[in-house]
Amino acid sequence: MIVRRTLATALVHAGRSRISTRNRILGIAFGLLWVGGCGEAVAPPETHSTFSFEQGLDGWAPDADACEVPPGILCAPWTIERTADLAYEGQHALKFYMDNVIDGAVIWIVRPFPVTPGRSYEVDVSYAFATRDWGEVNLFVLFTGVFRAPPTDLHVGTVQEPTGNGASSDVGYRWLRKRFHAAVSGDASGVLYVVVGVWGTWETPRTYFVDDLTVQLTPD
């Protein structure tokens, strides 16, 4: 359970039924350090990682909850991929696209980070987010969070904020700096999962970009 969050949480639409499109559980995609001869996995005392997506997805896995219930009736087309269309730094970023035909699709990236089981951590996430959404109505919702298991529902346990870029008219894409902070303890798995995603709140296609993503885990 996240102890505290520093960003304001937006209202969540209640009563919507969704089914995840995932048919897999994310494995731990990194090597743990082992104490010589004793077989105990240990995490580094502090993790500070920056992801520029210049060479690929940098260990981040795309996922989505993008189909109506019952499953298979209607699904929203979506992609999350490395692109050179727009970048905050360097030549590449991650491009989030959805055609929100179900009026409620959620797409996200998730990455595991090793921690010491039972130890408390200060988790800080920072990233550049490009959006051309303007005004105060018909905005999508941006999710940021940290979990003890690969998430299936980002409506619970995340910080949520509108995707607007602050403009009063269509000025094109603007880069915004997003920051997230939480205090959370590791469980027996020794893994925390950081998530960044977008929730479509009305039926229209939208495209966003994420770049210069930094994750810092500092043990208490």
Q: Please give the pLDDT value at position 42.
A: 57
Q: Please give the pLDDT value at position 187.
A: 93
For the chain, list the strands marked E by DSSP: 33-34, 41-42, 47-51, 61-65, 78-83, 93-99, 106-114, 120-131, 141-147, 158-162, 174-185, 191-199, 205-219
* Two structure tokens written together for 197: 């995603």
**Domains (ranges, CATH) in the chain?**
33-219 (2.60.120.260)
AA identity, residue 57: L
Q: Please give the pLDDT value at position 43.
A: 57
Tell me, yes or no, if the pTM score tops 0.75: yes
- Distance between CA atoms of 168 and 207, rounded to whole angstroms? 19
| Contact residues for 157 (Cβ-Cβ < 8 A; gap 6+) | 2, 145, 147, 151
In a structure prediction context, what are the per-residue pLDDT tens digits for the chain, which is 220 residues long? 333 333 332 322 333 333 333 333 344 333 433 333 344 445 567 899 999 999 999 999 999 999 987 766 899 999 999 999 999 999 999 999 999 999 999 999 999 999 999 999 999 999 999 999 999 999 999 999 999 999 999 999 999 999 999 999 999 999 999 999 999 999 999 999 999 999 999 999 999 999 999 999 999 8
| Contact residues for 49 (Cβ-Cβ < 8 A; gap 6+) | 113, 214, 215, 216
Q: Please give the pLDDT value at position 23.
A: 35
